[in-house]
Each structure stands twice: as structure tokens, then as C-alpha cells.
Amino acid sequence: MDFAEKIERIRQQAESDIRGAEGLPALESVRARYLGRKGEITEILKGLRLLPPGERPKAGKLANDCKVALTELLGARSGELAGNLEVKRLKDEEVDVTLPAGMKYPGKLHPITRVFDEVIRIFASMGFTAVDSPEIETDYYNFEALNFQADHPARDMQDTFYLSGGKLLRTHTSPAQIRIMEERDPPLAVIAPGKCYRCDADVSHSPMFHQVEGFLVDEKVTFADLKGVLTAFVHGIFSPDVKLRFRPSFFPFTEPSAEIDISCVSCGGAGCRLCGGAGWLEILGAGMIHPSVLESVKYDTGRFQGFAFGMGIERIAMLKYGIDDIRLFFDNDIRFIRQF
């Protein structure tokens, strides 16, 4: 094989290796194989001096031309591969600006929390202070001090969750009246929001539910004050055109007692499915604090009178937001919570 043929074969092989290199590192090893310190072309150039002097110029030119051509080809291929990399990077980073944005759901307040906050805000604006009161109670605070007779049906095992050691889960927030009045002297205007428990469960009863208790004690407090405060509250939480109806009722710890209905928030009083055709919805229990309750906290009943009221928060939330099943509040279905 003569020299020219040998160079030509190396060139062809090198050209195909360069074209076949699929990345910059692969291309670099091709370069080293042919043009590196011990590369094939380099070795040939080094070996030129062993040729007979007459052949050297021609062979030198052939070898050099080959080196120049391969160097050029390497440069071109390297540019090509770098370009491919750039194209690939751009493709990987491509953003389709026409796609809809991903939905981000910010945290939401539970509807019960929202109603609690609103009730507290409205009563705070009338000078009531919010307090905490225990959920685990004794018979004394939940019943006895509130003037429940020993055989009152609310003390029945059916309604009350009894715990060991004579304790029970409070069945209403009214024990807060006793606890606060034992601690403070009149005048006072307090609301006590919190959880209550009764052994009862259907579409409108949950074994755990929420109430807000409210009470005010001072000199010269009358039923008219109770009516004024509750009217302002109902107008604040629903709307100023909602009407109130005070219906005589009975609670052991108030005398006289009333249940308060509001004109139906759905039909405005005409009668519909929500109000069962009555046009009215019951939302509150209230009354003048019974003298024996004031006596149990050693208030001077000759000097002080008070009123008290209690409401179910689920009931108010259901009416405000048109919810027809109380269990939805506690199922923890994220689709329900997201609607508020």
C-alpha cells in the first residue's frame, strides 16, 4: 500500500468517525485518536523523516492536507453537536404559555369558624367579651347550678355522655354562666363560644356541635334589653329585614324563657320547604336568668338581674349558607370546605 493510499484510508475512516460521534466527549476522543499526541496522523507526520528525501515533500503535503481537512471537519461537527445541545436545552425548557395555569388553593376557614368569628365580632361591637369554658364538666355546672331538677330528662343517659369520675361532656354552653359569674362581679356582658356534646345523630343533630352562650348581668336589666340585643344580633348576622318572634318557652335556668324564631331566610315568611311552610325558623333559646341561678353564684338578687341566650352555630351556618345536612360540616370533604 503506498503512502497516498494509506493517508486516504485514514482520512475516510476519520471522517466517518467524526460524523458518527454523538456527543462532544465522543468527538474529543475521535480527535485524540487521529490528531492527538499519539494520533494516527501525528505519527505519520513524525515518520516523514524516515522517508527517502525525494518522497518527503509530496507525502508531507498529503499528510498535512489530511490534517487540515480533519481539523476543519472536527470544528464543524463540534459546532453542530454544541448546537444540538442548545436546541435540546431549549426544547426541555419549553413552556407552553397557552396551557391553563395550575390551580392553587389557598387555605380556607371552616364555615363553623367563620360563623363563630362573625358572632363574636357582632357581640364584641355591643360590648360583650368572649371567654373560654371547659368542655368536660361536672353535674353541678352542667345541671345543678343551672336549676335542673334531679329528675330532669336532660340528665338522662340518653342525652348526656358521662365520663368516669363523675364528669360529663357538657351538653350546652350554659355552664359558662356559672363559671364566669363565680369568678366575676356584675356588671358583666360575656359570650362563651365552644363545643357541646349530646348523644344524638341525624341530618340536623351531631353528637358534637357548637354553641355560643351569651349573658349580661347588671342593675335594672329587663326583657326589653334582651330583645334589643338579640334583634341587633339577628340583623347583623342575617340581614336588617329579617323579623324576630319571641315565643314563650321553658328552660330551668331562665324565667321567663323564650325561643326566638326568625322570618324564614329562604322564603321571607311566605312558607317553603326550609321552614316547613311555617314562615319561621327557630334559632335561639333565651330568657331572664332565674333567681336561683344568681343565688347559686351568690349574687344579690335584690339588686341584680340578667338575661342569657344560647344558639347553635351549625344551625346558623346551615341557614346562612343553605346547607341541608349537618354531617357535611364534619365529613372533612375538601370539596365542601372549598365552597366557602
- CB 77 within 8 Å of CB 21: yes
- Using the 8-state DSSP alphabet, how is residue 99 labeled? S
306 scored as a contact of ligand PHE (CB under 6 A): no
Of 272, 337, 286, 282, the C-alpha closest to 315 is 282
Residue closer to ligand PHE by CB (options 111, 287) is 287
Among the listed ranges 13-21, 26-34, 108-116, 281-289, the one in contact with ligand PHE (CB under 6 A) is: 281-289
287 scored as a contact of ligand PHE (CB under 6 A): yes
Q: How many residues bind ligand PHE (CB under 6 A)?
A: 11
Among the listed ranges 24-32, 97-105, 297-305, 308-316, the one in contact with ligand PHE (CB under 6 A) is: 308-316
Considering only residues 51 through 90, tell me which ones interact with ligand PHE, judged by CB under 6 A.
none
Residue closer to ligand PHE by CB (options 34, 128) is 128
- CB 177 within 8 Å of CB 213: yes
- CB 290 within 8 Å of CB 147: yes
Give the residue closest to ligand PHE by C-beta: 310
Q: Which helix (H) or strand (E) is 196 found in, with range?
A: strand 188-197
Return d(Cα 30, Cα 169) in angstroms, integer: 83
The amino acid present at 127, given as its one-letter code, is G
**Could you tell me the sign of the dihedral formed by the alpha carbons of 171, 172, 173, 179, in that order?**
negative
Residue closer to ligand PHE by CB (options 141, 309) is 309
Question: Shortest Cβ distance from residue 274 to ligand PHE (Å)?
Answer: 21
- Using the 8-state DSSP alphabet, how is residue 208 labeled? E
Residue closer to ligand PHE by CB (options 213, 261) is 213
Among 254, 263, 296, 305, binds ligand PHE (CB under 6 A): 254
Question: Shortest Cβ distance from residue 308 to ligand PHE (Å)?
Answer: 4
Question: Shortest Cβ distance from residue 285 to ligand PHE (Å)?
Answer: 3
Residue carrying the nine cell digits 525525494: 54
285 scored as a contact of ligand PHE (CB under 6 A): yes
Of 193, 178, 136, 179, the C-alpha closest to 161 is 136
Among the listed ranges 19-27, 60-68, 118-126, 307-315, the one in contact with ligand PHE (CB under 6 A) is: 307-315
- CB 286 within 8 Å of CB 262: no
Return d(Cα 170, Cα 209) in angstroms, integer: 11
Residue closer to ligand PHE by CB (options 209, 329) is 209
Among 172, 179, 290, 315, binds ligand PHE (CB under 6 A): 172
End-to-end CA separation in angstroms for the chain: 89
186 scored as a contact of ligand PHE (CB under 6 A): no
Report phi then psi at 277, rounded to 5: 85, -5
- Using the 8-state DSSP alphabet, how is residue 185 labeled? P
251 scored as a contact of ligand PHE (CB under 6 A): yes
Give the contact letters, 8-47, x = binds to ligand PHE (CB under 6 A), - = no. Answer: ----------------------------------------
Return d(Cα 299, Cα 181) in angstroms, integer: 8
310 scored as a contact of ligand PHE (CB under 6 A): yes
Among 143, 197, 309, 329, binds ligand PHE (CB under 6 A): 309
Return d(Cα 19, Cα 77) in angstroms, integer: 7
Among 133, 174, 206, 305, binds ligand PHE (CB under 6 A): 174
Give the residues lining the site for ligand PHE (CB under 6 A): 172, 174, 213, 251, 254, 285-287, 308-310
